[in-house]
Chain A
């Protein structure tokens, strides 16, 4: 049973560039969320996708956008990169957008994509 897979695992960009990160959810899951984890910090919620629509959004600017495909996979796009965007970007999946309900809504995280902006 494949867990949450993310690509690429590492990437380096320069300021002003654009980046696309990809995520495949755990088998059977239909909801994908993205989190940003800066060094030494806890993850911060960016947004959540369910049924190919953004359902919730955290306190992130419009430079951060996403997409969910019919197969439930998802992309995170960041435009006009800033040095402060350097972080580990985590994808998490769950079933039916329900969090923290034992055995049904558990949130599974991938290993992340580490972005460095120079």
Chain B
């Protein structure tokens, strides 16, 4: 069993839709939770970062962490074609340095 599970998709939605992306994990030591966006043939870029449980909002993006269920989510409101990319969840534990454990990524396509 992988430490981090993520539905690979692909996920196709119409422009303006609300998108929900999710990951589950098994390592209870994870404390830092991140969402990265990766466009084709590019490196991942950090979208959202959350420490421990709770919600965080940044513009059209909302990240949620439920440590009791070992479940994290990223919501994208009013999705745009420019949001079409692969979304990777990543997590780390205290003292983990730069060792992030990534999900496999969910490929999202937002259609006009």
Chain A residues near B (Cβ < 8 Å): 4, 31, 33, 40-45, 48, 55-56, 58, 90, 92, 94, 97-100, 102, 106-112
Contact = CB atoms under 8 A, between A and B. Distances in A.
B45 interface: yes
A102 B103 CA distance: 21
B96 to A, nearest CB: 7
Given A41-B105, A42-B6, A42-B104, A97 B43 contact: no
A94 to B, nearest CB: 6
Contacts of A33: 97-99
A43 B99 contact: no
B86 to A, nearest CB: 9
Interface in B11-42: 32, 34, 36, 41-42
Contacts, number: 75
Instruction: Classify chain B's interface size.
Output: 20 to 34
Given A107-B46, A109-B43, A109-B45, A92 B98 contact: yes
Given A41-B104, A48-B98, A56-B99, A100 B44 contact: no
Contact of A48 (B8, B42, B97): B97
A109 B36 CA distance: 10
Contacts of B104: 40-42
Contacts of B51: 100
Contacts of A92: 43, 98
14 contacts: A33-B98, A33-B99, A40-B8, A41-B104, A45-B99, A45-B100, A90-B43, A90-B44, A97-B97, A97-B98, A106-B46, A109-B43, A111-B42, A111-B43
Given A40-B104, A100-B100, A111-B41, 15 more contacts: A31-B98, A41-B105, A42-B90, A43-B102, A45-B99, A56-B96, A97-B98, A99-B98, A100-B32, A106-B46, A107-B46, A107-B100, A108-B46, A110-B43, A112-B43
